[in-house]
């Protein structure tokens, strides 16, 4: 049994490393394995390997330019490097992760959010709402600074950036595909938890009409709490 498990571990490491160094060959090998042994089509680790290969192909232009901060870089600058083909690969990587989650939710806890975040930030910036369509959830940090506003134009914002980051990093769901947000207020609830109140919209701000008021376009309203949870208010 030990020798069999050791052999499987070596094969798994080989496939993973191949997906990182030669993603096309890694994908070819996985497809060959799944064709020969159909039961492997639901094997979470191989799907994770496919996700990694697609991730490498999708983020390749940015991996070659580590000086680019994908969180703060402008969309026009980002699109100089990221093509539709890259975005398609990122979508495929996230789709594999969603399938893994559907098969075994615990696997996603092992993978960790940072693996998802690196791709989701890029995809969501370029294709608003797409991350939520694929994963069923999203984060404000994926929207980018151009799609999150303060409706009252407070000079220092709703919170200092380092404190706000705690809330923008929380996964949330909505019955609408949301594409932009307003940070309305902050405070503490009856349990003593700090929160921010967020208005959500199903359009980006450049899609609003010239006389359209933000308050009339809200499709969802949520509270994001400092303990990493959220609640809908409407």
Q: Are 6 and 96 part of one and the same domain?
A: yes
According to DSSP, residue 165 is labeled H
Q: Are 11 and 115 part of one and the same domain?
A: yes
- CB of 85 within 8 A of CB of 129? no
Confidence of residue 63 (pLDDT cuts 50, 70, 90): confident
Q: Are 110 and 23 part of one and the same domain?
A: yes
Residue with tokens 């380092």: 162
Instruction: Give the residue from 85, 117, 136 where a domain finishes.
Output: 136
User: Mean of the per-residue pLDDT values for the chain?
Assistant: 90
Neighbours of 102 (CB within 10 A): 11
Give the tokens for residue 38.
């159909």
Residue 17 and residue 20: Cα distance in Å, rounded? 5
Confidence of residue 210 (pLDDT cuts 50, 70, 90): confident
- CB of 218 within 8 A of CB of 199? yes
- CB of 196 within 8 A of CB of 185? yes
Residue 159 and residue 172: Cα distance in Å, rounded? 20
Mean pLDDT of 85-97: 97
Residue 91: what are its φ and ψ, rounded to 5°?
Answer: -60, -45
Give the tokens for residue 69.
């901060």
Alpha helices (H) in 182-230, listed in sequence order: none
SS3 189: coil
Q: Which of 36-45, 151-160, 196-205 has the highest mean pLDDT?
A: 196-205
Domain that holds residue 131: 1-136
pLDDT of amino acid 74: 79
Q: Are 4 and 120 part of one and the same domain?
A: yes
Q: pLDDT per residue over 212-232, tens digit each? A: 888 889 999 999 999 999 999
Report whether pLDDT(1) > 50: no
Q: How many domains does the chain have?
A: 2
Mean pLDDT of 35-44: 88
Describe the strand order of the beta sheet including 230-232 as a list of residue ranges: 148-149, 180-188, 194-201, 220-225, 230-232
Q: Is pTM, for the whole model, over 0.85?
A: yes
The DSSP element (H or E) to which 224 belongs, if any, is: strand 220-225
Instruction: Give the residue from 82, 117, 136 where a domain finishes.
Output: 136
pLDDT of amino acid 146: 87
Which comes out higher in pLDDT, residue 32 or 156?
A: 32
Q: Are 168 and 233 part of one and the same domain?
A: yes
Q: Are 132 and 144 part of one and the same domain?
A: no
């Amino acid at each position: 049994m030990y020798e069999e498990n050791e052999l499987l571990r070596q094969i798994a490491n080989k496939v993973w490393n191949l997906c990182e160094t030669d993603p096309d060959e890694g994908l070819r090998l996985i497809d060959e394995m799944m064709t020969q042994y159909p039961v492997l089509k639901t094997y979470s680790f191989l799907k994770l390997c496919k996700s990694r290969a697609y991730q490498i192909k999708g983020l390749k232009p940015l991996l070659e330019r580590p000086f680019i901060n994908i969180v703060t870089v402008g969309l026009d600058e980002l699109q100089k490097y990221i093509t539709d083909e890259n975005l398609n690969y990122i979508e495929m990587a996230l789709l594999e992760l969603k399938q893994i989650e559907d098969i075994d939710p615990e696997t996603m806890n092992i993978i960790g959010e940072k693996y998802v975040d690196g791709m989701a930030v890029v995809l969501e910036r370029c294709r608003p709402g797409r991350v939520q369509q694929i994963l069923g959830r999203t984060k404000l940090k994926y929207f980018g600074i151009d799609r999150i506003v303060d409706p009252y134009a407070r000079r220092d914002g709703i919170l200092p950036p380092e404190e706000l980051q705690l809330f923008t990093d929380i996964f949330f769901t909505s019955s609408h595909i949301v594409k932009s947000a307003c940070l309305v207020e902050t405070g503490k609830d009856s349990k003593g938890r700090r929160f921010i109140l967020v208005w959500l919209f199903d359009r980006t701000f450049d899609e609003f009409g010239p006389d359209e008021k933000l308050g009339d376009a809200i499709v969802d309203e949520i509270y994001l709490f400092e303990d990493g949870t959220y609640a809908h208010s409407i």
